[in-house]
């Protein structure tokens, strides 16, 4: 596992195309409701939007794409919707993994798997294993993921690994145990569906990420919508605590 710079420990290098994009895919239910369809129809269409987004990211040579598929709080939804989402997740894995593999995409799952049924856990393990040595886009799916859960599980692992350090922990002790220790911190965060919140997604990792919110509902998030997000990112000035004048100085 590689170790990456932390935006708070040193200033990360910036590229025109974000190296890591993290997405909250929101608005499936509302997309369906607008069409007088059941919410699950929106989730189905949402999978197609995922397939397309992966393509755009591959063509732009984005290195890491991280998608929030199911939050630790989504268990609060009606049982039928939760079961449908689990089934959809299982089917999508089965159906798509060979295509991901052919395209040299590495699939990683983050989140607490312990609440999934054993068939789904087996399918996840098989899919991750198959693509483990691929060197193209790293596609991370956050499923039963919560930012607080992530920080707490990392603290627990860290403490088990170095109990003698109690009271002396630094960032570098903790970050190797965070779920996304294999990736640089996200450059760009996109949330579709109009809400302006993080909903317990990557709390630690988003410290200096550029945030982009769009009213576009997830199933409608097409190439044009994606390009708007990238263009918005390219107009941002990422200062990481410094002044604009310092940045100008730096460029000269």
Pairing of strands 188-191, 20-24: parallel
The closest alpha carbon to 7, from 157, 210, 229, 232, belongs to 210
Nearest residue to the partner Mg ion, using Cβ: 26
Interaction with Mg ion in 24-53: which residues (CB under 5 A)? 26
Catalytic residue among 74, 103, 134, 200: 74
Written as six digits, the tokens of 106 are 């590495």
**Closer to ligand IPE at the Cβ: 2 or 78?**
78
Query: Which CB atom, from 18 or from 27, has the smaller least distance to ligand IPE?
Result: 27
Ramachandran angles phi, psi of 159, nearest 5°: -70, -35
Q: Which is nearer to ligand IPE, 50 or 62 (CB)?
A: 50
Residue 124's binding partner, choosing from Mg ion, ligand IPE, none, with beta-carbon cut-off 5 to 8 A by kind? none
Q: Would you count residue 69 as binding ligand IPE (CB under 6 A)?
A: yes
Does 201 engage in binding with Mg ion (CB under 5 A)? no
Q: Is 117 assigned a catalytic role?
A: no
Nearest Cα residue to 7 out of 145, 205, 218: 205
- Whether 128 and 109 have beta carbons less than 8 Å apart is answered as yes
214 binds, among ligand IPE, Mg ion, none (CB under 5 to 8 A by kind): none
Choices 18-26, 118-126, 166-174, 225-233 (CB under 5 A): range interacting with Mg ion: 18-26
Residue numbers 5-34 binding ligand IPE by CB under 6 A: 24-30
Say how far apart CA 22 and CA 41 lie, in whole Å: 24
Nearest to 229 by CA among 210, 207, 206: 210
Angle, CA of 110, 111 and 117, to the nearest 5°: 110
Task: Out of 26, 28, 144, 187, pick the active-site residue.
Answer: 26
Q: Please, which residue, 19 or 191, has the CB nearer to Mg ion?
A: 191
Within 98-127, the residues that bind ligand IPE by CB under 6 A are none
Is 74 considered catalytic here?
yes
Binders of ligand IPE among 158-197, rule CB under 6 A? 193, 195, 197
**Block residue for tokens 């890591």:** 20
Part in contact with ligand IPE (CB under 6 A); list of ranges 67-75, 91-99, 170-178, 228-236: 67-75
Tokens of 67: 């998608």
Residue 155: CB atoms within 10 A of its CB come to 15
Contacts for 74 with CB less than 8 Å, ≥ 6 apart: 82, 85
Chain residues that interact with Mg ion, rule: CB under 5 A:
26
What residues act catalytically? 26, 74
């Amino acid at each position: 596992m590689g170790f990456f710079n932390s935006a708070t420990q040193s200033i990360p290098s910036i590229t025109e195309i974000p190296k890591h994009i993290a997405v909250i895919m929101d608005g499936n239910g509302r997309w369906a409701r607008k069409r007088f369809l059941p919410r699950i129809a929106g989730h189905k269409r949402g999978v197609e939007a995922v397939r397309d987004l992966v393509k755009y990211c591959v063509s732009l040579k984005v290195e890491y794409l991280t998608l929030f598929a199911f939050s630790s709080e989504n268990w609060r939804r009606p049982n039928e919707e939760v079961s449908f989402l689990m089934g959809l997740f299982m089917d999508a894995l089965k159906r798509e993994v060979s295509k991901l593999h052919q395209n040299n995409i590495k699939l990683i799952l983050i989140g607490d798997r312990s609440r999934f049924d054993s068939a789904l856990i087996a399918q996840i393990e098989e899919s991750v294993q198959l693509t483990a040595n691929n060197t193209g886009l790293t596609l991370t799916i956050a499923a039963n993921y919560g930012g607080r859960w992530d920080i707490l599980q990392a603290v627990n692992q860290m403490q088990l690994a170095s109990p003698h350090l109690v009271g002396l922990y630094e960032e570098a002790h903790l970050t190797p145990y965070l779920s996304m220790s294999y990736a640089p911190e996200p450059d760009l965060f996109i949330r579709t569906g109009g809400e302006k919140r993080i909903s317990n997604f990557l709390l630690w990792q988003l410290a200096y990420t550029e945030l982009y919110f769009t009213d576009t509902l997830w199933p409608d998030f097409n190439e044009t919508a994606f390009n708007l997000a990238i263009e918005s990112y390219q107009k941002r000035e990422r200062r990481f605590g410094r002044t604009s004048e310092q940045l100008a100085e730096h460029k000269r």
